[in-house]
Every structure is written in structure tokens, then in C-alpha cells.
Structure 1
Amino acid sequence: MSERRRTGGAPERLIRCTDCGGVYPAQTDGDGGLRPIGVGAQCSCGNDEFVPYQDG
């Protein structure tokens, strides 16, 4: 049986895609990077760079 990649978990913060501005719940990975929850490692636009979401 193949191993499934885990993409879920409890959100710690919100992040925003640096390309399209999409906002996702996220966790901090082991290296301090931001990992979106529920969408794999990329935004729906295909970008894989995120920044912390700032409301306003």
C-alpha cells in the first residue's frame, strides 16, 4: 500500500499566496516555514510561496 501525504492538521495561522492572494489556514513546518492545510504544498494557482496573512 502506498504512503499518503498528510495535508491536514489544526491551523495555527492564516497565510496568503504571494501570486494570487489566496488565503489558507496553515501550520508552521519543522524549519519555521509555512505549510497550507488541505491543499498540499501549492496554492490552487500553482504557486508555492506564502506569507503570513495580515488583515486590513
Structure 2
Amino acid sequence: MGVYGPQKAPKKVAANICLSPDAIRELKTAGDRWQARVSATLRHISNERPIAG
């Protein structure tokens, strides 16, 4: 894997969340880019039910 420099305009923000081991196992078993699938799922859920502020 290559080393990348800083992005001109960062498109993502690092976040730490705790997930159950079985959820992580299922995501990783489904293949590479599991973090992208988590992000897409969260985006989908938030579009269906906007988070109240």
C-alpha cells in the first residue's frame, strides 16, 4: 500500500466507535472495504431518518 500526503480538502473525518464483535466479523467476512459499507449504511439510515438536533 502506498503512502499518501495530506488531502487538499479532506473528504472524511476519523471517528472511533465501538461495535459488537459479531457485527465487525460479518462486515469483514463480506469482503474488503468494510469501512466504506459502514459509512454507506450510516449515510442511508441518516437520509431515511434525519437526526434531530
TM-score interval, normalised by the smaller of the two chains? under 0.3
The structure with the largest strand share of the pair is: 1
Q: Using structure 1 for the length normalisation, give the TM-score.
A: 0.22
Task: Using CA pairs under 8 Å that are at least 6 residues apart, name the structure with larger relative contact order, 1 or 2.
Answer: 1
Larger Rg: 2
